[in-house]
Amino acid sequence: MADKDADQPQEPEVPDTGEATSAAAGPEENSSGPAPQADESLTVDDILGAAQTDDAAAEDAVIADLESALLSDLKRLQAEYANYRRRTEEQREREIERAKGEAVKGLLPVLDDLDRAEKHGDLDEGTPFAAIAVKVRGVAERLGVTAFGEAGEAFDPQHHEAIFQQPMPGTTEPTVLEVVEVGYRLGSVELRPAKVVVAAPAD
């Protein structure tokens, strides 16, 4: 047996230099090595402070002008709507007062009769109509009806109706001398002017 093995050619031995191992390992090391990293010295301030191109600046200017115009239109619309609501509310209140005034006007002759009855002593305590007068006047007061026109106040043609003028020495301006029939108003609505005698300046 020993002679047979000796007759077979022997493969030459290759010295182990480690080149094959290093060659095979080379690609793995390159692929697993650290990847190139971005420049970490660039900050947000650097980005924001970067020079702006002309096109970008023009676009920003257009956007700013558009925002300003839209804001101005919005403020104008808000002001117009607020004025509209105010006018509508005022008109509604006037219409309510006017409607109530038309209903209350039918009560004025009754109030005039009570005034005349009171001047004649028919509404003194204990008289039959005294309690009725209190109730009727209470209703008028709850509705918001107020009387005006007193002797001694300055004559105002907007609220007084002069049925007679009497020259009075020492009078410097027209003054209510006597109230023949009181006036009534409901809120800002005048239901009836006061009928008065006017003391006029003597010539």
**15-59 tens-digit pLDDT:** 555 444 444 444 444 444 555 455 556 565 565 565 667 777 777
CB 159 within 8 A of CB 192: no
In a domain, 59, yes or no: yes
What pLDDT is recorded for position 43?
66
In a domain, 87, yes or no: yes
Residue environment code for 20-44, b if the CB has 16+ CB neighbours within 10 A, otherwise e: eeeeeeeeeeeeeeeeeeeeeeeee
Average pLDDT of every residue of the chain: 79
Q: Which residue has the tokens 């970490």?
A: 40
Q: How far is CA 50 from the centre of its chain?
A: 44
With 50 as the cut, is the pLDDT of residue 138 above it?
Answer: yes
Domain boundaries, position 98: 54-102
172 CB-near residues (< 8 Å, 6+ apart): 201
In a domain, 61, yes or no: yes
Residue 116: which H helix or E strand, with range?
Answer: helix 108-119
In a domain, 42, yes or no: no
What pLDDT is recorded for position 135?
92
In a domain, 137, yes or no: no
The reported pTM is: 0.55
In a domain, 134, yes or no: no
Distance CA 115, CA 151 (A): 16
Number of domains in the chain: 1
In a domain, 97, yes or no: yes
In a domain, 44, yes or no: no
What pLDDT is recorded for position 22?
44
